[in-house]
Amino acid sequence: LMDLVDKGKVFTIQSDELDERSKSFARDGNLKKLKLNSESGQVLSINQGELPGLTCFSINNNRVALIHGTGKIGQFSSKDLSSDILIIAGSINCNIDAIIDSSQCKTIVTASNCPRYLTNKWQQVSEQRGLSYHSVNESGAYVLKRRK
């Protein structure tokens, strides 16, 4: 689904439904551009076909909220969703403005499995709100910037 790159190390978020050949193909092209080894770093596997869920973690002093899965999601609490980076992975049906308000994020990243029409919506809302936006489909791996 996507790679987060921090100081030359790769943190991969992937679907557990993909076979190894597909995972390698998707990762290696993007990482070669950055001159990185696709084997370095950690991996988070998610079930792409499941109901929407929220996974939160920190990397390089950045709080990351990953909304993943398929279908309609309800409202998350601001405490649960509070993040610097919001990642959307999958076909998530939600109130985009409410999610952004709850997360108070500075950056939105759409993963490779986010449908084009949703990617376009997230990009449009990001631009309207003055937020940083990154599409893995268009730009490849997301390279983290150090949070102060």
Residue 122 lies in a domain: yes
Residue 148 lies in a domain: no
Number of domains into which the chain is organized: 1
pTM above 0.85, yes or no: no
Residue 27 lies in a domain: yes
Average the pLDDT over 2-18 and give the result.
65
132: enclosing H helix or E strand: strand 132-135
How much is the pLDDT for 68? Answer: 86
Residue 131 lies in a domain: yes
Residue 49 lies in a domain: yes
How much is the pLDDT for 4? Answer: 66
How much is the pLDDT for 110? Answer: 93
109 and 132 in contact (C-beta within 8 Å)?
no
How much is the pLDDT for 143? Answer: 81
Tell me, what DSSP letter sits at residue 16?
T
How much is the pLDDT for 2? Answer: 65
Q: Which residue has the higher pLDDT, 106 or 19?
A: 106
11-68 pLDDT, tens digit per residue, is 677 666 655 655 555 555 555 555 555 555 566 566 555 667 888 888 878 899 988 8
Residue 13 lies in a domain: yes
Question: CB burial class (10 A; 0-12, 13-18, 19+) of residue 65?
Answer: buried
Q: Which residues of 7-39 are buried (b: 16+ CB within 10 A; e: fewer)?
A: eeebbbbbbeebeeeebeebbeebbeeeebebe
- Cα–Cα distance, 9 to 18 (Å, whole number): 22
Tell me, what DSSP letter sits at residue 76?
P
CA distances from residue 46 to 10, 134, 138 in whole angstroms, order as listed: 17, 20, 22
How much is the pLDDT for 74? Answer: 73
117-144 pLDDT, tens digit per residue, is 999 999 999 999 999 999 988 888 788 7
Half-sphere exposure of 60 (CA within 13 A, CB side): 16
77-103 pLDDT, tens digit per residue, is 778 889 999 999 888 898 999 999 999
